[in-house]
Structure 1
Amino acid sequence: MGNFDIRFYRSIFLRRLPFFLAILLSVSGLGFFVASILPPTYRADAKIIVESPQISAGLARPTVPVEIVKQMQLVQLQMMTRPNLLALADRFGLYKDRSEASENDIVDDMRSRMSVDPIRLDAPRGSEAATAFVVSFKAKDPVLAADVVNEFVKLIIQKNADIRSGQASETLRFFQQETERLASRLSQLESEISDFKNRNKDALPESLSFRRTQQLNLQERLMQLSREESSLRDGRSRLMRVLAGTDTSPNAAAMTPAEQTLAQLRRVLTEQRTVLADQSPGIVNLKTQIAALEKAVQAERSDKAGAGDGKSGLSDLDMQLADIDQRLQLIAREKDAIDEKLANLAQTIAATPGNEATLNALERQYQNVQSQYNVASGRLADASTGERIEMRSKGERLSILELASPPQRPIGPKRFAIAAGSAVAGLVLAFGFVVLMEFLNKSIRRPIELIEALQIEPLATIPYIPAAGETRSTKLALIPTALRRNIGM
């Protein structure tokens, strides 16, 4: 507090008081004038509520997302686009008195005057609160503000309905195309599977067990024919020796080829019974052949008994040889046919695993596409129901809760705040001007300033004492002329 002289600073303030008052009154007066001439601003509010769907979601699922806040934000963004705002401003002539305003300025001003805000509604515990929005617009004319906000609300409702209907129709169209695509793919796979089965009908996996059984039967038959052929060839050899007079067997000429074949089949049957069961196809086949040969042998013996002695023994042997040769030819042809069948069976059995893999791949594709088709068909039904719900406005939708009416009181400008702010600004500017003037003034006005400037300690300091007239004229010179006229000086 050594250098702080309150009397000195008070004298400085009194000396600068005219400037202080001039700045304070000028700024405050300007603020009061601006606050008084600013036009009033009115805000009109309209309310939109989200209505619950009229059909329960458990009975018919909607195909439009139910995130209504996001939907509202999307609608707001679309409605706040440049073309929509310019069209709305042109419809109501909002800027007809500002022809110099550019489109960018109009769009920015419209966005600043328009607002869409959610309303928080209280709901009982355990229940879901309703969702609502308030749409506001500011204008100098209360009727114009109400008309603009009502038109904007109607556009929002219509835009939301168009968006929901469009989404439902687009969803239905998508699933219609998807089901048609999957149905075409199913038809294509069915055709491929049918063509593959027709091309490989003898080598399909479902007939593999039958073909293997058939292969075993043919192999057994081939063995039987081989044994029969061997027996016939032995009999033929004996007959040939008899004809040549070299066979000394007492019974060689007595047995006919049928009897020799019958004896050979009986030996084969005895051998096969040690290996196979009586119900096996091979045993049953042997029994059938033996029974047939037994009847044939009996018939031959009857024919020989009634035939008499007209035929010689040599002709009987020739007939037996002819029968044996004929039988051998039949056996050879049958063996060739069996070999061909066995070759075909072996080829088809070898091709079956590859065909099975290809067929399984086609059937897996068919099953996958079929499951996709079933899912798409179910969703197509849901999409069709959802589209009808949206077209009839039975789903969740926006509706007008309250239209805007012309406001009775303006919301601005805040004249008192403007006036108070201008007064505070005047005080700050005036005080700052006084401080700045004193900061720039480097003259010596106190003894301590003289001591600090000269770095000496004077014996005494005598202040300047002006005359009475000089003091008054000096003070009057400091007061501006206009201010002196106002106060009558």
Structure 2
Amino acid sequence: MSKLIVRNIQYYLDLLLLKPIYAIVPAVIAAFLGIVIVFTMDRAYYAEGLIVMEVQQTPTALLSPTVSNERLQFIEQRVLARENLLSLAKRFDLFPQVRDTITDTELADLIRKQITFASTMSDPSTQFASNTSARIGFKYSDPDVAAAVAEALVRMVIDDGKRIRVGRASDTVRFLVREVGGLTEQFQARERAWAQFVSDNSDAMPGRMPTLLGEIQDKKRELTELDTTISRSRDDLSLLEAQFRLGVRQADVTTRQRTQIAALRTELTERLLTYSDSHPVVRGLRQRLDALERQALQPVAPDGDIRSIDRSGLTPELALTADQIDLARPRLDALQAQRRTLSDRLAALEATAARGSDVETRLGAIQVEREGLQRNLDEMNAKVDAARRGERIEQDDSAVNIQIIETPEVPRYPTEPRRLKMLLGVAFAALLAGAAGVYVADLFSPTIRGAFDLTTVLEGQTLLMIPRWPDQSGRPAAGEGYA
């Protein structure tokens, strides 16, 4: 197999030497076409700019960042939006030869492929945030346009980054202000509820408990003393009333009985002048007289309301007793009214003291709730202040210092295509074209190229026999040859 390959190679080399025109013509044509294509192909020029974003120069230990450090990837997406790219195409008249034949989306994709956006971010330190660098480039056939578009892209990145940061800072401030307003309203509503609770339970505040308990003890002591005084006054009044009734009854009964006894005795004396002692009338008078005398000797029971007794004609002793009763009764009524008032006050104080524990528990919960709301409000106010500082910093361009390290310049040399490489490729293609020309010419040639063609044509038949001649040494050949 290797001998066959070597023989074929040797054959085509001999054919190339015999008929070089078969290789020269295709090679020249291929070289000419390749050179024409290489030198007529549009060459692309690449312009690039370098920017550095020094994010959050203020130490984070002194000023907490309120707006997240912008990521260039997000800015890249905004810059490479279709509307921005179409604006660039209209501004710099990009790809005028194909602008009317493709859609806006295809034109934006074509421009996007010519843009290079590479960013790197350094690791943040303990005091300062990270720095971000970005290389922004544009590739186009016109070097002036490439530099102008690259510079426009750099400016778009800077302006869009600032607009995003300021917008986000403003949004953060507005959001935090709304949150502070909601927390303030909630805190004020709770303050009103707490004030109403304190006002409704001002008498049961924990600070008043010692005074309240002391007042309860004093009222109980006063009530005990008042009960003793009322009991004594009631006893004195009862005694005076009993004495008055007894005196009035005794005085009243004694006078009446004496009159009746005197009348009966007078009647008895008159009847004795007429009748004897055994006469029934005399005996009846005597019996009545004895009964009245016995009744006069019995004590009179006090009963009835002494205020309904007619006080005219009383003895000086009974009149004095009546005056004492008139003075004692209002005093007793006043003491009883005072006792009722004192009892009501004591009951109110005990009820208030009973609510003291609940009020203290509720006040503790209110205090915890107030501290929590106040802490949240203070934290939110601190965030609002920090957000406003961040907004001012963003508006002043002091939070992110964007520096253009390398301004896009007009490129002097094209970046692609590489003519040397392409010419080497053209030379290789010309060699292949020459080899292909030799092969094709030999393929379509009707002549017998060698013994291998005879083998195929004769299909194993012997055309003639060639004897083997002895060599110079005189030895016969090893065999015969066939053709």
TM-score range, shorter chain: 0.5 to 0.7
Is 1:225 aligned to residue 226 of structure 2? yes
What SS does the aligned partner of 2:97 have?
coil
Shift of 1:344: 2.7
Shift of 1:113: 0.8
Tell me, yes or no, if the aligned pair for 1:86 and 1:107 is still in contact at 8 Å. yes
Is 1:37 aligned to residue 34 of structure 2? no
Shift of 1:228: 2.4
Tell me, yes or no, if the aligned pair for 1:51 and 1:398 is still in contact at 8 Å. yes
Q: For residues 425 and 229 of structure 1, do their structure 2 counterparts lie closer, same or farther at Cα, with a shift above 3 Å needed? A: farther
Shift of 1:91: 0.4
The residue number in structure 1 matching 2:413 is 409
Shift of 1:432: 9.9
Mapping 1:325-340, distance limit 5 Å: 325-340=329-344
Paired with 2:464 and 2:232, the residues of 1 have a C-alpha distance of 168
Mapping 1:291-440, distance limit 5 Å: 312-421=316-425
Q: Residue 91 of structure 1 aligns to which amino acid in structure 2?
A: R
Structure 1 segments unaligned to the other structure (5+ residues): 247-310, 439-443, 466-489
Q: For residues 156 and 7 of structure 1, do their structure 2 counterparts lie closer, same or farther at Cα, with a shift above 3 Å needed? A: closer
Tell me, yes or no, if the aligned pair for 2:55 and 2:130 is still in contact at 8 Å. no
The residue number in structure 1 matching 2:277 is none
Tell me, yes or no, if the aligned pair for 2:56 and 2:129 is still in contact at 8 Å. no
Paired with 2:37 and 2:92, the residues of 1 have a C-alpha distance of 28
Paired with 2:426 and 2:225, the residues of 1 have a C-alpha distance of 128
The residue number in structure 1 matching 2:4 is 5
Q: Residue 330 of structure 2 aligns to which amino acid in structure 1?
A: Q
Paired with 2:464 and 2:103, the residues of 1 have a C-alpha distance of 67
Q: For residues 353 and 429 of structure 1, do their structure 2 counterparts lie closer, same or farther at Cα, with a shift above 3 Å needed? A: farther
Shift of 1:411: 0.8
User: What CA deviation, in whole Å up to 9, does each residue of 1:236-255 have, x standing for no partner?
Assistant: 44445544669xxxxxxxxx
Paired with 1:149 and 1:25, the residues of 2 have a C-alpha distance of 42
Tell me, yes or no, if the aligned pair for 1:43 and 1:410 is still in contact at 8 Å. yes
Paired with 1:191 and 1:120, the residues of 2 have a C-alpha distance of 53
Q: For residues 95 and 5 of structure 1, do their structure 2 counterparts lie closer, same or farther at Cα, with a shift above 3 Å needed? A: closer
Q: Residue 82 of structure 1 aligns to which amino acid in structure 2?
A: R
The residue number in structure 2 matching 1:103 is 104
Paired with 1:324 and 1:19, the residues of 2 have a C-alpha distance of 161
Shift of 1:198: 3.0
Tell me, yes or no, if the aligned pair for 2:45 and 2:139 is still in contact at 8 Å. yes
The residue number in structure 1 matching 2:161 is 160
User: What CA deviation, in whole Å up to 9, does each residue of 1:366-391 have, x standing for no partner?
Assistant: 32222122122222222222222222
Shift of 1:365: 3.2
Q: For residues 338 and 26 of structure 1, do their structure 2 counterparts lie closer, same or farther at Cα, with a shift above 3 Å needed? A: farther
Paired with 2:465 and 2:220, the residues of 1 have a C-alpha distance of 151
Paired with 2:416 and 2:161, the residues of 1 have a C-alpha distance of 32
Paired with 2:166 and 2:135, the residues of 1 have a C-alpha distance of 24
The residue number in structure 2 matching 1:198 is 199
Q: Residue 78 of structure 1 aligns to which amino acid in structure 2?
A: R
Alpha-carbon RMSD across the aligned residues, in angstroms, is 4.2
What SS does the aligned partner of 1:9 have?
helix
Tell me, yes or no, if the aligned pair for 1:60 and 1:386 is still in contact at 8 Å. no
Q: For residues 178 and 130 of structure 1, do their structure 2 counterparts lie closer, same or farther at Cα, with a shift above 3 Å needed? A: closer
The residue number in structure 2 matching 1:250 is none
User: What CA deviation, in whole Å up to 9, does each residue of 1:416-462 have, x standing for no partner?
Assistant: 32343455567789989979x99xxxxx9759988xx99xxx8x855
What SS does the aligned partner of 2:118 have?
strand
Tell me, yes or no, if the aligned pair for 1:157 and 1:399 is still in contact at 8 Å. no
Q: For residues 408 and 187 of structure 1, do their structure 2 counterparts lie closer, same or farther at Cα, with a shift above 3 Å needed? A: same
Shift of 1:90: 0.8
User: What CA deviation, in whole Å up to 9, does each residue of 1:297-319 have, x standing for no partner?
Assistant: xxxxxxxxxxxxxx944444334
What SS does the aligned partner of 1:156 have?
helix
With structure 1 as the length reference, what TM-score do the two structures score? 0.65
Paired with 1:445 and 1:80, the residues of 2 have a C-alpha distance of 69
The residue number in structure 2 matching 1:212 is 213
Paired with 2:320 and 2:455, the residues of 1 have a C-alpha distance of 173
Tell me, yes or no, if the aligned pair for 1:161 and 1:397 is still in contact at 8 Å. no
**Larger radius of gyration, structure 1 or 2?**
2
Name the stretch that deviates more: 387-396 or 344-353: 344-353
What SS does the aligned partner of 1:138 have?
strand
What SS does the aligned partner of 1:94 have?
coil
Q: For residues 383 and 223 of structure 1, do their structure 2 counterparts lie closer, same or farther at Cα, with a shift above 3 Å needed? A: same
Q: For residues 335 and 84 of structure 1, do their structure 2 counterparts lie closer, same or farther at Cα, with a shift above 3 Å needed? A: same
Tell me, yes or no, if the aligned pair for 2:59 and 2:128 is still in contact at 8 Å. no
User: What CA deviation, in whole Å up to 9, does each residue of 1:261-290 have, x standing for no partner?
Assistant: xxxxxxxxxxxxxxxxxxxxxxxxxxxxxx
The residue number in structure 2 matching 1:300 is none
User: What CA deviation, in whole Å up to 9, does each residue of 1:118-154 have, x standing for no partner?
Assistant: 36999xxx99996432211111111111111111111
Q: Residue 140 of structure 2 aligns to which amino acid in structure 1?
A: A
Paired with 1:22 and 1:464, the residues of 2 have a C-alpha distance of 42
Q: For residues 420 and 236 of structure 1, do their structure 2 counterparts lie closer, same or farther at Cα, with a shift above 3 Å needed? A: same
Q: For residues 215 and 14 of structure 1, do their structure 2 counterparts lie closer, same or farther at Cα, with a shift above 3 Å needed? A: same
Q: Residue 43 of structure 1 aligns to which amino acid in structure 2?
A: Y
Shift of 1:395: 2.2
Name the stretch that deviates more: 139-148 or 166-175: 166-175
The residue number in structure 1 matching 2:138 is 137
Paired with 1:36 and 1:52, the residues of 2 have a C-alpha distance of 47
The residue number in structure 1 matching 2:149 is 148
Q: For residues 430 and 313 of structure 1, do their structure 2 counterparts lie closer, same or farther at Cα, with a shift above 3 Å needed? A: farther
Paired with 1:41 and 1:405, the residues of 2 have a C-alpha distance of 15
The residue number in structure 2 matching 1:286 is none
Q: For residues 194 and 240 of structure 1, do their structure 2 counterparts lie closer, same or farther at Cα, with a shift above 3 Å needed? A: same
The residue number in structure 1 matching 2:51 is 48
Paired with 2:228 and 2:120, the residues of 1 have a C-alpha distance of 103
Tell me, yes or no, if the aligned pair for 2:205 and 2:360 is still in contact at 8 Å. yes
The residue number in structure 1 matching 2:77 is 77
Tell me, yes or no, if the aligned pair for 2:58 and 2:128 is still in contact at 8 Å. no
Q: Residue 106 of structure 1 aligns to which amino acid in structure 2?
A: L
Structure 2 segments unaligned to the other structure (5+ residues): 248-314, 444-449, 467-483
Q: For residues 329 and 430 of structure 1, do their structure 2 counterparts lie closer, same or farther at Cα, with a shift above 3 Å needed? A: farther
Paired with 1:121 and 1:212, the residues of 2 have a C-alpha distance of 72
Q: For residues 230 and 49 of structure 1, do their structure 2 counterparts lie closer, same or farther at Cα, with a shift above 3 Å needed? A: same
Mapping 1:444-463, distance limit 5 Å: 461-462=462-463
Q: For residues 447 and 54 of structure 1, do their structure 2 counterparts lie closer, same or farther at Cα, with a shift above 3 Å needed? A: closer
Give the paired residue count. Answer: 382
